[in-house]
Structure 1
Amino acid sequence: MRHLARSSCAFFLVGSLLAGQSPADEWGTLKGRIVFTGEVPQPEPLEIRRDEDVCGQHNLTDASLIVNKDNKGLQNVVVWLSTKDKIQVHPSLQAPPKPAMLDNKNCRFEPRIVRLRTDQTLQSINSDPVAHNVAVYARRNTPFSEIVPQDKPLEKTFAREELLPIRIDCSIHSWMRAYLIITDHPYSAVTDKDGNFAIPNLPRGDWQFKFWHEKIGYLKSINHGEELIELKRGTWPIKIDQDEVALNELSVSSLEDE
């Protein structure tokens, strides 16, 4: 009976591995919080020259730099794993994800940064009573500029990853701006209103992570405790060697080109 039990356990383990179920110790989460310690200018009002009766009522301001006034959290930093190799994907992330949403709402794009995988649909919708256009300046995919219907989503997919976040404009309303980060894996994140980010279920190993913000492009350096990390083309080599790799508080003092 003991021999039979051992055989059954071995069969179950092999079957699980063949089914794509990996042991928990093969994966880890990268997390951290990014704060901005430089001078934060007062957001400037945007100049509204089109559909003023609708768009003028929203008190729109420049959203290219958003810093939490209470805790200095830097919003909309894009962090992603960058590799030319095929990467193992956690079983829970292998299924094609639901469509990513980009809303034209209150005469601005929401969200400012959209994360998208190459096997995922981008749905652009229009929640406003005026016409909006989505112009995507893709580099490795086919760029497009199309009116967003008000009765159904405008759906697009992208066959190739983009090496950098790509710009999205509304050709009708020149102040509208968003960005799209397209990867061929699920390992990307965007910092929230408090500067927090997390990339869960990463395969363990030595990886290169990119850090990017629309004000400067690739971040040039990050303070990690007492250490200044110089980032060549925004790249920080980080080892994922445990369940959670917590970078804790990171700080950026400048988003200007030197």
Structure 2
Amino acid sequence: MKQYCSFLALAVALSTGDVLAQEWGHLKGKIVVNGAVPKLAPLVKEGANVKDANVCAVKDLPDDSLVVGENGELANCFVYLYMRRGTPEIHPDLKKPAEPAVKLDNLQCRFLPHAGIVRTDQVLNTINSDACGHNVHTFPLKNNAHNLLISANDNKGVNLEFSQGELLPMQIKCDIHPWMTAYWMVVDHPYATVTDSEGNFLIENMPAGKHTIRIWHERVGYIERSLDVEIKGGEASDLGTTKVDADKLAG
């Protein structure tokens, strides 16, 4: 009898674990440019007469607003779960962020990473690896804006906090060096990402069911404003390849 009860308990545990595994799934896809990619001039040319030229004009500074691979792979697209109200059910492994802070660096008069995600239960630690001062000026829709100076070679930096998820990525600028911009998305859940250098994205452990996804890029705006997807438990739902017309990226 004792052996039977032990077997029954094990069977129930395994069955419950299998059911729980079926309640979560992944979302993946790829974003590419359709057509000839526009060539962008450097934001600052080597030797240009700009402020802090000894730091900012040592070499050409690329325009990070458009990063495209050899085969049209579009980096820095934001892909995120959109909800009109409330927050989604969150996988137990994702209830807390992997790290309490994410880092944004002022490096060679660029914001790096140029695009990223920060949760409301994280801080955006903004540092300065340059030998000149910068400021970090955020332009959110829902949160309070930040506008703070960061001294040269400040590896401790300043921590930016956000209390609400945003509807779309916010712009970040350095007013001292006006070509410096970045875009970061503030979310109150873990279901958001940015496409990598190969245009790929993966959002893991989403709750099974029907959801609305938004895809956004700084030179286009919404690529998909309200894309309905269905996440199947225990599977990776593949959106396939999303194409963005090259002429939309030229402006």
Give the structure 1 partner of residue 39 of structure 2: 42
Q: Paired residue for 1:90?
A: 91
Q: What residue is the counterpart of 1:62 in the other structure?
A: 63
The 5-angstrom pairing of residues 87-166 of structure 1 reads: 87-98=88-99, 99-149=101-151, 150-166=154-170
Does structure 1 residue 250 correspond to structure 2 residue 247? Answer: no
Q: Say which SS state the counterpart of residue 153 (structure 1) adopts.
A: strand
The aligned residue for residue 227 of structure 1 is none
Q: Which residue of 1 aligns with 2:54?
A: 53
Cα shift at 1:66? 1.4
Q: Give 3-state SS (helix, strand or coil) of 1:175's partner.
A: coil
Segments of 4+ in structure 1 off by > 6 A? none
Per-residue CA deviations over 1:113-161 (Å, capped at 9, x if unaligned) read 1201111111001111111110011221110110124141211211101
Query: What TM-score comes out, normalization by structure 1 length?
Result: 0.86
Q: State the Cα distance separating 1:4 from its structure 2 match.
A: 2.5
Distance between the aligned counterparts of 2:60 and 2:237, measured in 1?
A: 40
Are 2:200 and 1:208 equivalent residues in the alignment? Answer: no
CA deviation after TM superposition for structure 1 residue 168, in Å: 0.1
Match for residue 196 of structure 1 among 200, 204, 226: 200
Contact kept in structure 1, 2:104 and 2:113, CA below 8 Å: yes
How far residue 52 of structure 1 moved from its aligned partner, in angstroms, is 0.9
* Identical aligned residues as a percent: 37
Counterpart residue identity of residue 209, structure 1: I
How much is the aligned-residue C-alpha RMSD, in angstroms?
A: 2.3
Residue-pair matches, total: 240
Q: Secondary structure of the equivalent of 2:58?
A: helix
Contact 1:55–1:106 (8 Å) recurs in 2: yes
Q: What is the TM-score with the length of structure 2 in the denominator?
A: 0.88
Offset of residue 64 of structure 1: 1.2
SS at structure 1 position matched to 2:214: strand
- Unpaired runs of 5+ in structure 2? none
Task: Give the secondary-structure state (helix, strand or coil) at the position aligned to 1:182.
Answer: strand
2:88 counterpart SS class = coil
User: Would the aligned equivalents of 1:116 and 1:122 in 2 still touch at CA under 8 Å?
Assistant: yes
2:189 partner letter: H
Shift of the alpha carbon at 1:58?
Answer: 2.7
- Cα deviation, residue 180, structure 1: 1.3
CA contact (8 A) 1:102 1:123 kept: yes
User: Structure 1: where are the runs of 5+ without partners?
Assistant: 220-230
Which whole-Å CA distance do the structure 2 matches of 1:155 and 1:24 have between them?
36
